[in-house]
Amino acid sequence: MEEKMMVQRFTRSQRVQHFLLLISFIILIITGLALKFHDSWLGKLVINLEGGVIARGIFHRFAAVLLIFVAIYHFFYIIFTRYAHEEFLLMLPKFKDFKDAFQNVAFTLGLSSEHPKIDKYAPQDKFQYWAVVAGSFLMIITGLVLWYQTQAMLVLPKWAIDITRVMHSYQGVIIAVVILLWHLYIVHLNPKRFPMSRIWIDGKVSLEELKVEHPLEYERKYQGVADEKN
Amino acid sequence: MKKIRIIIYLCFFLISLSVHGLTQELPSNQECRHCHSNPNLKKVLTDGRVISEYVDFDLFYTSVHKKQACVYCHIDATNFPCKNLRKVNCQRCHYKGNLAGAPDLIKYKEYGESVHGRATALGDVKAPMCQDCHGSHYIFDKADTLSRTNKEHIPQTCGACHVNIYSVYKISVHGEALRSKHILAAPSCADCHGEHNIKEHIDPKSKVFLTQVSVTCARCHANMELIKKYDIPVEPVETYRESFHGVAIKFGAKTVANCSSCHEVHAIFKSDDPRSSIYVDNIPKTCGKCHPGASENFAKGKIHINPAKKEAGIIYYVSQFFKYLTLSVMLALIIYIILDLRKKLIVKRKGEE
């Protein structure tokens, strides 16, 4: 079998950021859900495995600091590197995304025979990116308010803190649900990818897959190369 | 075995015979009465305290020990004048299987392990023994209002030694309810601290140990019958257990608040009472004990809230919104996965054809 031609799709910095994000999300979700579901046997087990409720809090804050670090790093990465800035521009929602998303739904339902032609980021990719950005932002803000609640209450009344707790708690669950059901389905459990896509490790994807999944990116970057080869 | 038992019975028989023989020569109640019915009979102790030696025989003859002779308890009162009598040992009669028919209370073990019993065992003469709480000559059934262990009298009984605590308790919401309003459901000392098994509050076995406080308070404050009858706020215990304080204490944290951290130990008042630690103006100070720098914003909003109940106000609506948002996100994603898998299956089948 002919060796597949692999192309680099994500830089090392992007992969490291993704990895740190993944570590912090996993710790945050495990420690957070354990507290939310402290009444269930699983919640009890996890809290005790984490070394009690105080240690749980320390783990959660440690992971939160990691998340904040990644967020700040990502922000500067976009501002100060040409590559990331271009990537960011590709990530911005455009009118085409709504059209593509609509067509994607139609295709999935069998109402359209054509899959939308996608550039580097499909509408669902963009949506997930922005969900992560918005989710992390809200979680960091609400989390900091709860972390420094005495200081926060110099400005906020007690009921606002209670709302913050409810928001932080439920947003955490929603983020966990989105990651478990959507992101993990796309990159792991999806029959096409199972057991997983290796892209998050080496950042590479085969040219054939790129051509099918991201035809516009393929045309933009590799059409010439491929033609030359032939 | 049988022989040994017979020997033991014989011994008992002989001992009781000899005891009987002794009592024949002992003074009768009438003789005691000669002196001890004088209200002015006093004794000066070695430490200079003067105690009355008067006995109200009329009252004594209505007590549970009305049929007992003085010398049954004061066994060393054999000669006149009976000087330097030792403290009466109640266990002479009150033990399991006693022949005198005295209630065989096995509370002694509990008492021996209690803070009072241990202090007595270590030789602390101030520590209470049976008669200090139950009374000496005038012991009545605890249902009797004359009894020192009657629920309404317990605070005074304990307060005889615990003076400062008593002075705080008696004006607290619990003390007022029990003493002024005669509400017997209100707690006396024993309801929170136990009776014979009283432990120090730093003893993990204590009913008022920091992890046990919410359990002890819950006996009344989560009792729906009492809550309805006396119009007590509905779910303080449940909401506390769901709060961070309650969860943390359940998982072994030692530095978080329990009920009495905020509501005080004995000086418990209603929230609308300015003396209360949870009166709106006092909340910053109360919270500030653990949260240094607590502002008056700590008092803006209810403390005991259940986000699942409408009484929580805006918090209820926010949490309802998120509840349905979470459910719809889950549902949408599950539908998405099913549809996506279905489509992939169709495409695959077409490819195979």
In the block, which residue shows the tokens 């963009």?
A: A126
Q: Compute the average pLDDT of residues A74-99.
A: 92
pTM over 0.95? The answer is no
CA distances from A17 to A11, A25, A203, B189 (A): 10, 12, 12, 61
Chain A residue numbers touching B305 (CB-CB < 8 A): 162
Confirm or reject contact between A98 and chain B (CB < 8 A): no
Q: Do A156 and B329 touch (CB under 8 A)?
A: no
* CA A41-A44-A48 angle, 5° bins: 140
Residue A40 reports pLDDT greater than 80: yes
Contact (CB, 8 A) for B315 and A166: yes
pLDDT of residue B125: 80
Quote the percentage of chain A above a pLDDT of 70. 96
Q: Which of B286, B297, B311, B321 is the best mutation test for A, with the most CBs of A within 10 A? A: B297
At B162 the pLDDT is 92
On the CB side of A79, CA atoms within 13 Å amount to 6
B43 beta partners: B51
Q: Give the pLDDT band (50/70/90) at residue A73.
A: very high
Among B49, B51, B31, which Cα is nearest to B41's? B51
- B139 with B147: CB under 8 angstroms? yes
Q: How far apart are CA B56 and CA B69, in angstroms?
A: 14
pLDDT of residue B145: 80
CA-nearest residue to B254 within chain A is: A54
Which of B308, B309, B287, B307 minimizes the C-alpha distance to B297?
B287
Whether B41 and chain A come into contact, CB under 8 Å, resolves to no
The predicted structure's pLDDT at residue B112: 82
Residue in B299, B315, B343 closest to A162 by CB: B315
Q: Do B251 and A47 touch (CB under 8 A)?
A: yes
The pLDDT value recorded for residue A1 is: 40
Assign A162 to helix, strand or coil.
helix
User: Which residue positions in chain B have pLDDT lower than 50?
Assistant: none
Nearest CA in chain A to B306: A162
At B78, which helix (H) or strand (E)? none
Local structure of residue B330 (DSSP, 8 states): H
A111 touches chain B (CB under 8 A): no
For tokens 């120090």, what's the residue? B200
User: Which of A54, A109, A181 lies at the smallest CB-CB distance from B339?
Assistant: A109
Q: What is the ipTM of this complex?
A: 0.86
* Start-end of H helices in chain A: 12-36, 41-49, 52-80, 82-91, 95-109, 123-147, 149-152, 158-177, 184, 199-202, 207-213, 215-229
Inter-chain residue contact B343 with A107, CB threshold 8 Å = yes
The partner residue sitting opposite A38, judged by closest CB among B247, B318, B339, is B247
Task: Tell me the pLDDT tens digit for each residue of A62-71.
Answer: 999 999 999 9
In which band, very low, low, confident or very high, does the pLDDT at A81 lie, cut at 50, 70 and 90?
very high
Question: Alpha carbon B133 to chain centroid distance?
Answer: 14
In whole angstroms, give the CA distance from residue A182 to residue A176: 10
Mutate which of A49, A154, A159 to test chain B, going by most B C-beta atoms within 10 A? A159
Q: How far is B202 from chain A (nearest CA, A)?
A: 21
Chain B residue closest in CA terms to A47: B251
pLDDT number for residue B42: 81
Average confidence (pLDDT) over A104-127: 84
Cβ(B140)–Cβ(B132) below 8 Å: no
A–B interface: beta-carbon pairs under 8 A: 105
